[in-house]
Amino acid sequence: MDKLRASVLMRHEVGLHARPSVKLTKLAKAFESRIDLGLSPDGPWVDAKSIVKVMATRAPKDSTIYFRAEGTDAKAALDALVTLVDGDFQDGR
Amino acid sequence: MDDRTHRAAHRIEGRSAAPGIALGPLVRLAAAKHDIRQYRSAAEEHKALVDALAASHVDLSALVSEVGDAEAEAILSFQIALLEDDNLAAPAFALITGGEVANRAWSDAIAREIASYDGADDPYFRARASDLRDLRDRVLRHLAGEADQIVPSGVIVAAEDMPPSMFLATDWRDGGLVLRRGSPSSHVAILARSRGVPMIVGVDVDHLENGRDALLDGEAGLLIVDPDTDTRAAYCQRHAEQSEFRQAFASFSGPALTASGELVRVMINVTGLAELEQLDPAHVDGIGLMRTEFLFQGCETLPSEEEQYQIYRRMIEWAAGRPVTIRTLDAGGDKPIKGLTQTGDINPFLGVRGVRLSLRHLDVFRVQLRALARAAVAGNLKVMIPMVTVPEELDRCRTLLEQALEDLRREGQEAQMPPLGMMVEVPAAALTIEDFNADFFSIGSNDLIQYVAAASRDEPQLADLARPSRAVFGLIGHVVNYADSSGRETSLCGDLAGDPEQVAALLDQGLRILSVAPRALGPVRAAIARYSGSGAFSSEVEPGSRQENVSNQESRAPFRSDRTGKGSSA
């Protein structure tokens, strides 16, 4: 089965830090699909559901975040994650 | 021991992490020492760690439900998320399988994570090491069967580092914090600033003795051990002022009411997004003045429409429905911008500045108006034009804003026409205020004062002239009168509004919206609460106290205009 892919520019002032990472991994965990995150289109990839791994990417402000997903809800997962990052992690606050 | 009590004051310099003054005995927190565990079997060690992780999760979940502020919640949520991630403890379980005792397995596994954060280039990431240590120690305490360390209140705590969860579980009334580790960007420092706890970092805490009398000056980054009588007296005075100030802050919740129960809206003046991060929007009635100069300063290129739009939108979203007044570029005067403002103006304050500059650089101005029209969709935006002198200037701005809106709609972009108002700071505009087609007014007292008095606010020799005078209050009263009669809102956003001594005089003029620097919120709200109304509202006040009120007002506002004179003589 092919992996779906998406990418989005992260503008968050301090990069992919604690608060954004908590939101991102929580959202990723809401989906069944396997979801990977990377800072380049060719990886290396980390599990987007793991805050330990996501924080370890040390993604700074203005990085492009790449996602790939595989599973029944892969499309919905990518849409939701891109919306979160694009909306600067402002989920309803 | 005896000679030590007469020891000279000892000043220790650190780095400021949170302002404020604290006086009290030093309490040195020793690093927690966890009992050595006896290894039983791999299965039991495994179970012990599983249980300790689960118990820590319970602790943190309970703490997060109690803290009640977004900053603290975010910090604890990060630790909870780490605990919920199997990747965190996986190496520890692997070590246990290899025959390691649970506490050492956990410490070693976390040590690698901590080391990687400690070695990060970005100070924000480095600061997260402290969150991991916090989590490590909590789990270790559970493994050792130890209780949480309790910190007494009213003391100056000195420690190697302090975990955010311990900070949150401590009563910091009148206390302060001195750390060796940590930085102004650590989670504890963020919490200390938001909760008004004085804190310094970078102090060699090993040489500090338990129980010694100490003074902490968070702003200066200074710890004084065994202060002499004079120093102590000076700091006691500052500490008393601070307590008064904090009390005012404590009364933050709910609307600002005068002593007679009249509602006054208190908004804030802001210069950038960073300022808002420290503030709870529930504590303000909106943003009364957002300056936009910061977007244009210190950059090689002027900010794009998209960059401006994003920042305006975030401001509006932060305010969550409360009004946000954004002032278009107010460059010139004392605020030069490279490539835009003229150099060599003979008298910059009387030169090409504010709207005068914008109307001469339509390319730049149109970009800002487009960004504002787009941001207006996000909430309660108002647009304010600075330095308006004649009605035609405001009319041109309105036409340009309408054009920007039309263009955006034609391009299929979402946009909306925000209310368009003006800053009242030029005496000519204040005197003929009824000629202006403005949706609202905001009085810029700093410039109004210097233009009325023809005295620069930056000339120390003329400080007596560049003050709020009867002439200034007269103009303010005139603007408020007209605005009230024509159903428009007027606020005041200059330094005058942030001066607690002047609040009564401004309320006397009929102003009911003040916009102040965030640090002035507490004192200004306190001054509003003391205000019992000019004579016009005093029918409910007993004669004796009324007499007192009137003389009070007179001492505060010696130059009241006729408008209030009428009221208090009734």
Degrees (nearest 5) of the Cα angle B73, B79, B80?
80
Residue B390 has pLDDT above 90, yes or no: yes
| CATH number of the domain residue A48 falls in | 3.30.1340.10
A4 CA: distance to closest CA in chain B (Å) = 24
Q: How many C-beta atoms surround the C-beta of residue B501 within 10 A? A: 13
In this structure, are B52 and B197 located in the same domain? no
The minimal CB distance from A22 to the residues B77, B113, B273 is found for B77
Residue A28 has pLDDT above 70, yes or no: yes
User: Is the Cβ pair A60, B122 closer than 8 Å?
Assistant: yes
The answer as to whether B437 is a domain residue is yes
In this structure, are B67 and B160 located in the same domain? no
Instruction: List the one residue out of B426, B474, B479, B475 whose CA is nearest residue B454.
Output: B426
A21 CA: distance to closest CA in chain B (Å) = 8
User: Is the Cβ pair A13, B273 closer than 8 Å?
Assistant: yes
Confidence of residue A89 (pLDDT cuts 50, 70, 90): confident
- HEC readout, B193-250: HHHCCCEEECCCHHHCCCCCEEEEECCCCEEEECCCHHHHHHHHHHHHHHHHHHHHHH
pLDDT digits (tens, 9 = 90+) for B103-114: 999 999 999 999
* Chain B contact residues (CB < 8 Å to A): 70, 74-75, 77-78, 81-82, 84-88, 113, 116, 120, 122, 124-125, 128, 131, 273, 310, 314, 317
The answer as to whether A93 is a domain residue is no
The answer as to whether A40 is a domain residue is yes
pLDDT of residue B79: 93
User: Is the Cβ pair B85, A90 closer than 8 Å?
Assistant: no
User: Is the Cβ pair B82, A51 closer than 8 Å?
Assistant: yes
Residue B351 has pLDDT above 80, yes or no: yes
Helix-, strand-, coil-residue percentages of chain B, each rounded to 5? 50, 15, 35
Angstrom CA distances, B313 to B200, B286, B380, B403, B412, stand at 35, 14, 10, 21, 18
Q: How many C-beta atoms surround the C-beta of residue B314 within 10 A? A: 18
Nearest CA in chain A to B110: A52
Mean pLDDT within A23-41 = 92
Which residues in chain B have their CB less than 8 angstroms from residue A57's CB? Answer: none
Cβ–Cβ under 8 Å, residues B518 and B524: no
pLDDT digits (tens, 9 = 90+) for B313-339: 999 999 989 999 999 999 876 667 777
Which residues in chain A have their CB less than 8 angstroms from residue B272's CB? Answer: none
Nearest CA in chain B to A11: B310
| CATH number of the domain residue B158 falls in | 3.50.30.10
Domain count, chain B: 4
How high does pLDDT run on average in chain B? 83
The answer as to whether A92 is a domain residue is no
pLDDT of residue B401: 97
User: Is the Cβ pair A15, B88 closer than 8 Å?
Assistant: no
The answer to whether A12 is a known catalytic residue is no
Q: Considering chain B, what percentage of its residues have pLDDT values greater than 90?
A: 44
Nearest CA in chain A to B80: A22
Interface test with B, best of A12, A52, A54 (most B CBs within 10 A): A52
Beta strand segments in B127-212, E = 156-159, 176-179, 199-201
The answer as to whether A91 is a domain residue is no
Question: Domain of B60?
Answer: 42-144
The answer as to whether B22 is a domain residue is yes
Cβ–Cβ under 8 Å, residues A26 and A49: no
Mean pLDDT within A8-24 = 83
Confidence of residue A16 (pLDDT cuts 50, 70, 90): confident
Report the side by side order of strands in the sheet with B222-225: B10-13, B222-225, B213-217, B21-28, B156-159, B176-179, B199-201, B15-18
User: Is the Cβ pair B128, A50 closer than 8 Å?
Assistant: no
In this structure, are B22 and B163 located in the same domain? yes
Range with the lowest mean pLDDT among B286-295, B383-392, B395-404?
A: B286-295
Which residues in chain A have their CB less than 8 angstroms from residue B113's CB? Answer: 52
In this structure, are B383 and B477 located in the same domain? no
User: What ipTM was estimated for this complex?
Assistant: 0.88
A50 CA: distance to closest CA in chain B (Å) = 6
Mean pLDDT within B423-436 = 97
Residue A39 has pLDDT above 60, yes or no: yes
Interface test with A, best of B85, B93, B130 (most A CBs within 10 A): B85
Question: Domain of A35?
Answer: 4-86
Range with the lowest mean pLDDT among B78-87, B124-133, B333-342, B425-434?
A: B333-342
The answer as to whether B233 is a domain residue is no
Interface test with B, best of A13, A16, A55 (most B CBs within 10 A): A55
Which token pair is A55? Answer: 């924080």
How far apart CA B416 and CA B439 sit, in angstroms, is 15
Interface test with B, best of A14, A24, A63 (most B CBs within 10 A): A14
pLDDT digits (tens, 9 = 90+) for B267-314: 999 877 777 776 778 788 999 999 898 788 766 678 899 999 999 999
pLDDT of residue B552: 37
pLDDT of residue B149: 66
The answer as to whether B238 is a domain residue is no
How far apart CA B262 and CA B198 sit, in angstroms, is 35
Nearest CA in chain A to B85: A50
pLDDT of residue B560: 38
In this structure, are B493 and B447 located in the same domain? yes
More reliable by pLDDT, A44 or B278: A44
Interface test with A, best of B87, B276, B277 (most A CBs within 10 A): B87
Cβ–Cβ under 8 Å, residues B176 and B156: yes
Indicate the residue among B418, B442, B462 that finishes a domain. B418
pLDDT of residue B541: 32
The answer as to whether B555 is a domain residue is no
User: Is the Cβ pair B125, A47 closer than 8 Å?
Assistant: no
Confidence of residue B253 (pLDDT cuts 50, 70, 90): low
Confidence of residue B129 (pLDDT cuts 50, 70, 90): confident
B88 CA: distance to closest CA in chain A (Å) = 6
Q: How far apart are the first and last CA of chain B?
A: 70
pLDDT digits (tens, 9 = 90+) for B212-226: 889 999 888 999 999
Residue A65 has pLDDT above 50, yes or no: yes
How far apart CA B225 and CA B512 sit, in angstroms, is 47
How far apart CA B289 and CA B520 sit, in angstroms, is 14
Which residues in chain A have their CB less than 8 angstroms from residue B73's CB? Answer: none
pLDDT of residue B1: 41
More reliable by pLDDT, B559 or B374: B374
More reliable by pLDDT, A71 or B254: A71
Residue B188 has pLDDT above 50, yes or no: yes
In this structure, are B369 and B457 located in the same domain? no
Instruction: List the one residue out of B300, B382, B386, B268 whose CA is nearest residue B335.
Output: B386
Domain count, chain A: 1
The answer as to whether A12 is a domain residue is yes
User: Is the Cβ pair A90, B317 closer than 8 Å?
Assistant: yes
In this structure, are B156 and B264 located in the same domain? no
How far apart CA A40 and CA A28 sit, in angstroms, is 19
pLDDT of residue B567: 35
* Chain A contact residues (CB < 8 Å to B): 11, 13-15, 17-19, 21-22, 25-26, 47, 50-53, 55-56, 58, 60, 88, 90, 93
Residue B480 DSSP SS3: helix
In this structure, are B269 and B321 located in the same domain? no
The answer as to whether A18 is a domain residue is yes
pLDDT of residue B386: 97
Cβ–Cβ under 8 Å, residues B218 and B242: no
In this structure, are B276 and B301 located in the same domain? no
Indicate the residue among B418, B433, B450 that finishes a domain. B418
How far apart CA B401 and CA B405 sit, in angstroms, is 6
Q: Considering chain B, what percentage of its residues have pLDDT values greater than 70?
A: 85
pLDDT of residue B554: 37
Q: Which residues lie closer than 8 Å to B102 by C-beta, 6 or more apart?
A: B37, B45, B46, B48, B49, B52, B92, B96, B143
Helix (H) or strand (E) holding B94: helix B86-97
Mean pLDDT within B51-65 = 87
Residue B375 has pLDDT above 70, yes or no: yes
Confidence of residue B435 (pLDDT cuts 50, 70, 90): very high
A24 CA: distance to closest CA in chain B (Å) = 11
Mean pLDDT within B127-132 = 85
Q: Which residues lie closer than 8 Å to B183 by C-beta, 6 or more apart?
A: B15, B17, B123, B126, B127, B189, B201
User: Is the Cβ pair B81, A25 closer than 8 Å?
Assistant: yes
Number of A–B residue contacts, CB under 8 Å: 52
How far apart CA A39 and CA A62 sit, in angstroms, is 11
In this structure, are B331 and B473 located in the same domain? no
Mean pLDDT within B437-446 = 96
Q: What are phi and psi of B295, to 5 degrees?
A: -70, -25
pLDDT of residue B372: 97
The answer as to whether B97 is a domain residue is yes
Which of A3, A17, A23, A53 is the catalytic position?
A: A17
Cβ–Cβ under 8 Å, residues A16 and A54: yes
Range with the lowest mean pLDDT among A25-29, B347-351, B469-473?
A: B347-351
How far apart CA B337 and CA B330 sit, in angstroms, is 10
The β-bridge partners of B214 are B24, B225
Whole-model pTM: value is 0.50
User: Is the Cβ pair A18, B78 closer than 8 Å?
Assistant: yes
Cβ–Cβ under 8 Å, residues B445 and B472: yes
Indicate the residue among B418, B437, B471 that finishes a domain. B418
User: Is the Cβ pair A18, B310 closer than 8 Å?
Assistant: no
Which residues in chain B have their CB less than 8 angstroms from residue A24's CB? Answer: none
